[in-house]
Amino acid sequence: MISRLPSFLKKALLATALVSAGHVYAADSVGIVVYNAQHEGLTKAWVEGFTQETGIPVTLRNGDDTEMGNQIVQEGAASPADVFLTENSPAMVLVDNAGLFAPVDKTTLEQVDSAYRPAHGKWVGIAARSTVFVYNPSKLPETQLPKSIMDLAAPAWKGRWAASPGGADFQAIVAAILEQKGEAATLEWLKAMKTNFTAYRGNSSVLKAVNAGQIDSGVIYHYYSLVDQSKTGENSQNTALHYFKHKDPGAFVSISGGGVLASSQHKEQAQAFLKYVTGKEGQDTLKNGTSFEYAVGKNAQSNPKLVPLQQLDAPTVDASKLDSKKAVELMTQAGLL
Amino acid sequence: MLPETLPVGIAEAIPTHLRRRSRGRFASRGGAWVVGLSVLVSLLALLPIAFVVGVYLQTGWSTLVPLVFRPRVGELLVNTVLLVVITIPLCIALGVALAWLTERTNLPGRRWWSLLATAPLAVPAFVHSYAWVSLVPPIHGLFAGVLVSVIAYFPFLYLPVAATLRRLDPAIEDVSESLGLKPWAVFFRVVLPQLRLAICGGALLVGLHLLAEYGLYAMIRFDTFTTAIFDQFKSTFNGPAANLLAGVLALCCLAMLTAESAARGNARYARVGSGSAREQRVVQLSAPLKALALFLQIITCVLALGVPLFTLGKWLMAGGTQVWDLPELLPALEQTLLLGVAGAALTTCAAIPIAWLSIRSPGRLQRLLEGCNYITSSLPGIVVALALVTATIHFARPIYQTTITVLLAYLLMFLPRALVSLRAGIAQAPVELENMARSLGRSPARALWLITLRLAAPGAAAGAALVFLAITNELTATLLLAPNGTRTLATGFWAMTSEIDYAAAAPYALLMIVLSLPLTGLLYHQSKKTAGR
Helix (H) or strand (E) holding A101: strand A101-102
Q: Is B393 near chain A, with CB under 8 Å?
A: yes
Predicted confidence (pLDDT) per residue in B328-339, tens digit: 999 999 999 999
Domain A2-127+255-306: CATH class, spelled out: alpha beta
pLDDT at B316: 94
d(CA A146, CA A156): 11
Q: What is the DSSP letter of A140?
A: S
CA distance A299 to chain B (A): 31
How far is residue B416 from each of residues A170, A310, B15, measured CA to CA in Å?
41, 61, 20
Predicted confidence (pLDDT) per residue in B264-323, tens digit: 888 877 777 777 778 888 889 999 999 999 999 999 999 999 999 999 999 999 888 888
Question: Does residue B180 sit in helix, strand or coil?
Answer: coil
Q: Which of B235, B401, B403 to mutate to test the interface with A (most CBs of A within 10 A)?
A: B235
Q: What is the mean pLDDT of residues B143-151?
A: 97
Q: Across the interface, do A4 and B445 touch by the CB < 8 Å criterion?
A: yes
Q: Parallel, antiparallel, or unpaired: how do β-strands A217-221 and A161-163 relate?
A: parallel
Least confident of A130-144, A284-298, B5-19, B486-500: B5-19
Predicted confidence (pLDDT) per residue in B416-429, tens digit: 888 888 888 888 88
pLDDT at B6: 38
More confident residue, A22 or B274: B274
- Chain A residue with CA closest to B65: the answer is A333
Q: Are A298 and A280 in contact (CB under 8 A)?
A: no
Q: What is the mean pLDDT of residues B182-203?
A: 91
Backbone φ/ψ region at A250: left (φ over 0), alpha (ψ -120 to 50), beta: alpha
Q: Across the interface, do B72 and A335 touch by the CB < 8 Å criterion?
A: yes
Q: Across the interface, do B219 and A201 touch by the CB < 8 Å criterion?
A: yes
Domains A2-127+255-306 and A129-252+324-333 share a fold: yes
pLDDT at B530: 59
Q: Across the interface, do A166 and B231 touch by the CB < 8 Å criterion?
A: yes
d(CA A45, CA A85): 14
Q: Across the interface, do B500 and A80 touch by the CB < 8 Å criterion?
A: no
d(CA B16, CA B477): 38
**How does residue A7 score in pLDDT terms, banded at 50, 70 and 90?**
low
**How does residue B22 score in pLDDT terms, banded at 50, 70 and 90?**
very low
ipTM of the modeled complex: 0.83
Least confident of A42-51, B239-248, B294-303, B482-491: B239-248
Q: What is the mean pLDDT of residues A248-263?
A: 96
Q: Which long-range contacts (CB under 8 A, 24 or more apart) does B81-85 make?
A: B82/B142, B83/B142, B83/B145, B83/B146, B83/B149, B83/B210, B83/B222, B83/B224, B84/B207, B84/B210, B84/B211, B84/B256
Least confident of A9-18, B29-38, B274-283: A9-18
pLDDT at B1: 39
Q: Is the pLDDT of residue A1 over 60?
A: no
Q: Are B395 and B51 in contact (CB under 8 A)?
A: no
Write the CB contacts of A264 (distance below 8 Å, at least 6 apart in sequence).
A32, A81, A82, A83, A102, A270
pLDDT at B213: 93
Share in percent of chain B as helix, strand, coil (round to 5): 80, 0, 20
More confident residue, B179 or B3: B179
Q: At A129, phi and psi to the nearest 5?
A: -145, 150
Q: Is the pLDDT of residue B501 over 60?
A: yes
Q: Across the interface, do A201 and B218 touch by the CB < 8 Å criterion?
A: yes
Q: Is the pLDDT of residue A24 over 70?
A: no
DSSP tally for chain A: helices H, then strands E: 12, 10
Q: Across the interface, do B484 and A208 touch by the CB < 8 Å criterion?
A: no
Q: What is the mean pLDDT of residues A73-78?
A: 90
Q: How large a percentage of chain B has pLDDT more than 70?
A: 93
Q: Is the pLDDT of residue B163 over 70?
A: yes
Across all residues in chain B, what is the average pLDDT? 87
More confident residue, A202 or B9: A202
pTM of the model: 0.87
Q: What angle, 0 to 180 degrees and rounded to 10, lies between the N-to-C axes of helices B489-498 and B125-135?
A: 20
Q: Across the interface, do B498 and A74 touch by the CB < 8 Å criterion?
A: no
Q: How large a percentage of chain A has pLDDT more than 90?
A: 82
Predicted confidence (pLDDT) per residue in A263-321, tens digit: 999 999 999 999 999 999 999 999 999 899 999 999 999 999 999 999 999 999 999 88
CB pairs under 8 A between A and B: 147
Instruction: Parse chain A into domains and list their residue ranges.
Output: 2-127+255-306, 129-252+324-333
- Chain A residue with CA closest to B240: the answer is A329
Q: Are A94 and A70 in contact (CB under 8 A)?
A: yes
d(CA B533, CA B92): 24
**How does residue A15 score in pLDDT terms, banded at 50, 70 and 90?**
low
**How does residue A17 score in pLDDT terms, banded at 50, 70 and 90?**
low
Q: Is the pLDDT of residue A30 over 80?
A: no
Which of A75, A78, A204 is opposite residue B500, by nearest beta carbon? A204
Q: How large a percentage of chain A has pLDDT more than 70?
A: 91
Q: Which residues of B touch A333 (CB under 8 A)?
A: 66, 70
**How does residue B4 score in pLDDT terms, banded at 50, 70 and 90?**
very low
Q: Across the interface, do A208 and B137 touch by the CB < 8 Å criterion?
A: yes
Question: Does residue A241 sit in helix, strand or coil?
Answer: strand
pLDDT at A46: 97
d(CA B153, CA B241): 30
Q: Parallel, antiparallel, or unpaired: how do β-strands A32-36 and A83-85 relate?
A: parallel
CATH of A129-252+324-333 given 3.40.190.10, 3.40.50.150, 2.130.10.30, 3.40.50.1370: 3.40.190.10
Q: What is the DSSP letter of B13?
A: G
For Cα atoms B53, B54, B59, give the angle at the middle one, nearest 5 degrees.
105
Q: What is the mean pLDDT of residues B396-404?
A: 92
Q: Taking a contact as any Cβ pair under 8 Å apart, which residues of chain B between 164 and 223 contact chain A?
A: 218-219, 221, 223
pLDDT at B12: 41
Q: Is B427 near chain A, with CB under 8 Å?
A: no
Q: What is the DSSP string of B331-392?
A: HHHHHHHHHHHHHHHHHHHHHHHHHHHHHHS-SHHHHHHHHHHHHHHHS-HHHHHHHHHHHH
**How does residue A180 score in pLDDT terms, banded at 50, 70 and 90?**
very high
Which of A13, A19, A333 is opposite residue B338, by nearest beta carbon? A19
Q: Are A320 and A96 in contact (CB under 8 A)?
A: yes
Q: Is the pLDDT of residue B18 over 90?
A: no
CA A168 remoteness from chain centre: 6
Q: Is B58 near chain A, with CB under 8 Å?
A: no
Q: Is B64 near chain A, with CB under 8 Å?
A: no
Q: What is the mean pLDDT of residues B7-11?
A: 38
Q: What is the mean pLDDT of residues B330-350?
A: 95
Q: Is the pLDDT of residue B9 over 80?
A: no
**How does residue B67 score in pLDDT terms, banded at 50, 70 and 90?**
confident
Q: Is the pLDDT of residue B46 over 60?
A: yes
Q: Are A112 and A298 in contact (CB under 8 A)?
A: yes
Q: Across the interface, do A201 and B486 touch by the CB < 8 Å criterion?
A: no
Q: Which residues of B touch A337 (CB under 8 A)?
A: 72, 228, 231-232, 235, 241
Closest CA to A38 of A254, A312, A275, A302: A254
**How does residue B30 score in pLDDT terms, banded at 50, 70 and 90?**
low
Q: At B485, phi and psi to the nearest 5?
A: 85, -5
Q: What is the mean pLDDT of residues B517-527?
A: 83
**How does residue A13 score in pLDDT terms, banded at 50, 70 and 90?**
low
Across all residues in chain A, what is the average pLDDT? 90
Q: Which residues of A touch B445 (CB under 8 A)?
A: 4-6
Q: Which residues of B touch A208 (CB under 8 A)?
A: 137, 500
Question: Does residue A76 sit in helix, strand or coil?
Answer: helix
Which of B70, B407, B484 is opposite residue A16, by nearest beta carbon? B407
d(CA A69, CA A67): 6
